[in-house]
Amino acid sequence: MKQIKYNLSIIFITFITASSAFAQKNYPTFFNQTIKKYNVPGLSVVIIRDNKVAYTGTFGVKATDTDEPVSSNTVFSAASLSKPCFAYAVMKLVEAGKISLDKPLYQYLPNPDFASDENYKKITTRMILSHSSGLPNWRNGKLKLRFEPGKKFGYSGEGFVYLMKVIEHILQKPINDVMQTLVFQPLGMQRSSYVWQDSFDSDYATPHDYLSCTKPKNKPRKVNIASSLQTTASDYARLMLAILNKKGLKSRTFKDILRPQIKLDKSENLFWGLGWGLQQTNKGKSIWQWGDNGIFKAYALAYPSRKEGIVLFANSFNGLRMIPEVTDYVFEDKSPAIERLGYHKLRPTQRMVENLMRNEHKQAIGFCINEDGTFDTKKIKERYVYNVVRQLNWHQKYAAVRMLLQTNLQTFPKSFRAHKVYGDFLMTRGEVKEARNAYLKAQQLKPNDKLVAGILKQLPPQKQVGNVTFRLSDYHYAKRVSVTGDFNNWDKTALPLVRKRGAWTGKINLKPGKYKYKFVIDGIGVLDPKHTNTGVGEYGSIHSILVVK
């Protein structure tokens, strides 16, 4: 009897200790500091303890250009968190006998994309849900198997889309209606859908790049079962609670979901179950899934034996960088899956941009500079430099751009592109003489390049020649003016205009015909103010029209 009382005391003390540890954590302070540290504009979080919601928090803003705060009803893009939600519905259909885990899918619905590959007939529902079907994540041209189905792990969105089509064929219903019936309505997920709903317009998160600049929100009108789920953290937590509390499915089905189906490469502790990733840490087995739609990030993690978990949605490219720190703070555990994916690491180009946004000097990129002042090419490749330059130009960090391009020239003195891009930059700053020197060096490296040759013909001291003259008498304070059109493949650098006697002028030889064009003034395309003849392009853009007789 004393032993029983002693054991009960230990259990009670352990429970009190765990509860106290949870109560002592200052989640608002932690998450506010974390989103600031990782430059994440907005975040929605739900934490589960003892198989129930223990904490709900919203932090930051829905969009940096409106400063509206995130709310518990704010809809985020769930990205690949769409997949476990769909898997839950699939397992319901398995229980109902509508579809089998191990019957080849082609027997339900042949896939015409694989007319010449008989191996696809081995693909089953189990393989799709465990990412072992051999299908690629997304096709690049023709859809091809990457390996024999069932042989190894290979993450695949295409597989989920194929399974979606099979289920729509079996049930003869649109998949979003199926999800409403099998998942959203039974679990009370009232602000969830795989296609955009008008009700979402009143409260949704806007995506941001890694510099926290807003981007247009994609509002899906067509279901992509692998990635188009729109939901809230609170709604998705209902799905997590259904998994933890074994709600809506039989006990043996939940065992199947949590049973390792395939191993991830050579990892000892990472597997995939039916719809969920599985990982083993010092805290025990957990299920997880990450979501990455580029400028939306999401994460779900649960420990079935410990009856706890977390759902996290971020409206930022940077959202998954914080996961190891979040997991450590909330659960005092590591994140082997996320660390394997490398989200916790900052790419060299990101680090360069972030540092130079704060400090436009070479010291800001010292981590990738050699002692002689050149780039460490083991850390930064030439093509990456131009990506950084493009982003800094968007933010008008011209001193940083100049420094990068000069360092690039020092590192790659025999690169045609290095001299050409530097010439383009100097033209944007109105430094025509210096730009001409850069173009001449580029021409020495690539004498037959028609684009550079055409630019040089327009610049002093060359005499402009051609049967067509472009003239712009306004914009006296512009630094660079050029003409772009279908006659030069809409290249903004191919026909620069030169400031002469109060007007921008340039000449070109054109054959008789009808041409589309625009002036480009300091990077901005404008119509010719002297010609009212205009047309509309393929994507709705308006251009001026020139007729050469």
Strand-pairing partners, residue 285, are 280
The model carries a pTM of: 0.77
Q: What is the pLDDT of residue 5?
A: 47
Name the helix (H) or strand (E) containing 516.
strand 513-521
Q: From 341, 357, 372, give the residue that closes a domain.
A: 341
The whole-number average pLDDT for the span 291-318 is 96
User: Are 174 and 146 contained in the same domain?
Assistant: yes
> Both tokens of residue 115?
């007319």
Q: From 341, 376, 408, give the residue that closes a domain.
A: 341
Top-ranked range on mean pLDDT: pick from 301-305, 338-342, 505-509: 301-305
Does the residue 7 lie in any domain?
A: no
Pairing label, strands 42-49, 308-314: antiparallel
User: Are 487 and 450 contained in the same domain?
Assistant: no
Does the residue 453 lie in any domain?
A: yes
**Predicted confidence band of residue 17 (pLDDT cuts 50, 70, 90):** very low
pLDDT tens digits along 429-480:
878 889 999 999 999 999 999 889 888 877 777 777 899 999 998 787 777 7
pLDDT tens digits along 332-379:
999 898 888 888 777 888 888 888 887 778 778 888 999 999 999 998
Question: In whole numbers, what is the pLDDT of the chain averaged over residues?
Answer: 90
CA distance 268 to 137: 23
User: Are 392 and 486 contained in the same domain?
Assistant: no
Q: What is the pLDDT of residue 107?
A: 96
User: Are 278 and 156 contained in the same domain?
Assistant: yes
DSSP 247-263: -SS-HHHHHHHHS--EE
> Both tokens of residue 277?
């990733």
Domain CATH for 436: 1.25.40.10
Residue ranges making up the domain that contains 331: 25-341
Q: From 288, 311, 341, give the residue that closes a domain.
A: 341
Q: What is the pLDDT of residue 305?
A: 94
Domain CATH for 517: 2.60.40.10
Number of domains in the chain: 3
Does the residue 132 lie in any domain?
A: yes
> Both tokens of residue 303?
């420990």
User: Are 45 and 119 contained in the same domain?
Assistant: yes
Residue type for 295, please?
I
The whole-number average pLDDT for the span 264-286 is 90
User: Are 413 and 274 contained in the same domain?
Assistant: no
> Both tokens of residue 470?
């472009």
Give Cβ neighbours of residue 477 (< 8 Å, ≥ 6 apart).
none
CA distance 276 to 443: 56
Query: Which residue has better confidence, 12 or 156?
Result: 156
Which of 44-53, 134-143, 463-472, 475-484 has the least mean pLDDT? 475-484
CA distance 509 to 75: 55
Burial of residue 334 (number of CB atoms within 10 Å: 0-12, 13-18, 19+):
middle
Q: What is the pLDDT of residue 456?
A: 86
Does the residue 497 lie in any domain?
A: yes
> Both tokens of residue 121?
């007939």
